[in-house]
Chains A and B, each alone.
Chain A
Amino acid sequence: MSKQNPQLDTQGNLKHFLTIEGLSRDLLTEILDQAEGFLGVAQQAVKKVPLCRGKVVANLFFETSTRTRTTFELAAKRLSADVLNLNISTSATAKGETLLDTLRNLEAMHVDMFVVRHATSGAAHFIAAHAHPHVSVINAGDGRHAHPTQAMLDMFTIRRHKQDLSRLRVAIVGDIMHSRVARSQILALKTLGVPEVRVIAPGTLMPNSIEESFGVRAYHDLREGVRDVDVVIMLRIQRERMNSALLPSEHEYFQLFGLTEERLSTAQPDALVMHPGPINRGVEMDSQVADGPRSVILEQVSNGIAVRMAVMSMCIGTQNLKIQPAGDADG
């Protein structure tokens, strides 16, 4: 029950990256600025910098993922770290090994950083609390709780298009209830000074106390919710929600909450459309919007690598990145 932020070391530097909660605006801005510097690395002939040379990063995925794992892997490799990829979704735990056993075995291999995805809220905090003191933990998504690097890459993408965050209206649409992405996005938007954050969902996918918990405005009507907004973030709907009492059908969901060009027309003319992927076309949005001029969905993916490089190097980098013009960094 320590009140001290478990993510920061005694000097206030980033040690783990578990959640946006409790991090300052300055620190989030530093992540974005660092990521800006890393964006150039992808344009170099040799796409590598030596900031994490000699470090070992283990991607510990207890839940399957392609995109997030791949971008973390690329980010670590571009920082010159050695990378282990472990998909533990079924293997170890099915054999009765506990999470802590898995952790201890990997620590014995002298891993410097765990990138963790787990289906249970609080898993990343648990691992950070029980890892060796020299090990850093990055949360790549835990249950419904947090997915802070996703939120930061979204902030990065928004900042590249909209300079002044303090004037924005942002709407997040979809399964707010079960979304770790939404929780981290809301916290990041608020911390970075976005004055109006709206969440839009049917009653079954909207937590009752969302307004009080997060200081957002809740809408049940998509048209009303996206009116005059500068950014619309669509969330993925898991298919299994249709098999419970949460939603009646994909058809009705799309009729009411699917984003179309027509429904987007009440937003600002230059509104950005975002999605953390993978998209269910025809459920969350139609292809016209997903592939349209206002969509920055693929850009989010590229930005994800730079943002993850920034967070990783801030946690375990041996030196700070000198922000230099693209192509000038050490190969």
Chain B
Amino acid sequence: MANGPRISIRNGRLIDPASGLDGETDLHIADGEVLAIGAAPSGFQPELTLDARGRLICPGFVDLCARLREPGHEHKATIASETRAAAASGITTLCCPPDTLPVIDTPAVAQLVYQTAERHGFARVLPAGAATQGLEGVKITEMAALKQAGCPVLSQADRPIRSTQVQRRAMEYATTFGLTLFLHPQDAALSEEGCAHEGLVSTRLGLPGIPEAAETVAVARDLALAEQTGARIHFRGLSTARGVAMLTEARRRGVQVTADVSMHQLFLTEEDLECFDANCHLIPPLRTRADREALRAAVASGEISAICSDHQPHDADAKLAPFPETAPGISALETLLPLALRLVEEGVMDLSTLIGRLTQGPASVLGRDLGRIAPGSPADVCVFDPEATWVVSPATLVSHGLHTPFNEQEMRGRVSWTLHGGRIVFER
């Protein structure tokens, strides 16, 4: 990333929770790195000056879970198309789950993903390595090799390991290399065939349910194993109030566990499934209002330290079927920022805390020195206009995934510039 242009971003409000910064100041960038904050070093001659009056400047967002669909599912999206959408969303680092085709269970596939993203240059892609070969939950992967190939964490994507013994071994082996294990807490048997939260709405619509216990049973199992093995685990996408309570209690006890939540879980509930809207087919399922409130509170308090997009672009056919037969997941990169700002508007947390959950929080889960603006750090920066409004529609989305439950909604907050490694990768 050396030899990036010299850029000054002036007159904006800079917020960086990791450095404790919040105020109107200038930011100077050179050679792909942050050079100075405030006054420019003497003799600094920017090639480009961005006027950020009325805008906010913060570290580029770090997204712990975004599917890019390459390799293997290029009919849905590609690394190029989705990292471009990430740049348009202010996201500069994203972690993709290993459920590509082939699975990211060898260094070759991990490098393919990493290098393809690097070649396009829109964002940094850190592939999560598979914890078991083929994500089949039977044999563990060559974790040391995956780590060396650049996988910061291990994951089973959304295919939970059925065998508790294999889960234990995966944790123990990951611990050998200090790798965090991402776990989607959902008991395989209890969630089989389910497509909606087991509750009022699924009962009325006759949709096969996924009970709350599918999450809490998995959380309990994985916390017990983490405590036993000393492994570091991260719950990817908590969805229930009870799951949050168990997380909080375990953290109090000193278990090495962190957690994130998908942005849509902080807004939608089972009630949005009325009329069988396939854009609300999500795994874990949308749950109750009480669950949503508990998730919001946990993000505000920091028990949940990161918010993810959980971006899952699909082709049109994937959602053209009766609800239970549709593919779960939505296109979510570009709604990440405006939905986040709604949390501030609705009084859930202040702006600085919120920015922290999109930058410092997820970066520390990855164990990388990212998600901050400090002299010498990579110049990954998002400059956005918090007042700009736009309407979500297939015409306004950059991603190849066009399915979103927020379609046709007005959003407030839009990215003006995204810098990745000191280069402007998006401007509007």
Contact = CB atoms under 8 A, between A and B. Distances in A.
Interface of A: 1-2, 6, 21, 98-100, 118, 120-123, 125-126, 130, 142-146, 180, 183, 207-210, 212-214
B323 A122 contact: yes
B393 to A, nearest CB: 15
Which bracket fits the contact residues of B? 20 to 34
Contact of B324 (A2, A98, A120, A146): A120
A142 B274 contact: no
A125 B206 contact: no
A120 B204 contact: no
Contacts of A145: 205-207
B324 A122 contact: yes
A120 B317 CA distance: 17
B380 interface: no
Nearest to A125: B276
A126 B276 contact: yes
B325 interface: yes
A144 B198 contact: no
A130 B276 CA distance: 13
Contacts of B228: none
A183 B280 CA distance: 22
Contact of A121 (B199, B200, B274, B324): B324
Nearest to B196: A121
Nearest to A208: B198
Nearest to A187: B204
B350 to A, nearest CB: 31
Nearest to B280: A1
Contact of A207 (B203, B320, B324): B203
Contacts of B206: 121, 142-146, 180, 183
Contacts of B320: 98, 100, 130
Contacts of A121: 205-208, 276, 322-324
B277 interface: yes
Nearest to A144: B206
Nearest to B279: A1
Contact of A2 (B199, B200, B275, B323): B275
B386 interface: no
A146 B317 CA distance: 25
B321 interface: yes
A266 to B, nearest CB: 28
A306 to B, nearest CB: 26
Contacts of B209: 207
Nearest to A143: B206
Chain A to chain B: the 3 pairs with minimum beta-carbon distance, closest first: A144-B206, A145-B206, A122-B276
A209 B199 CA distance: 6
Interface string B182-219: 00000000000000001110011111110000000000
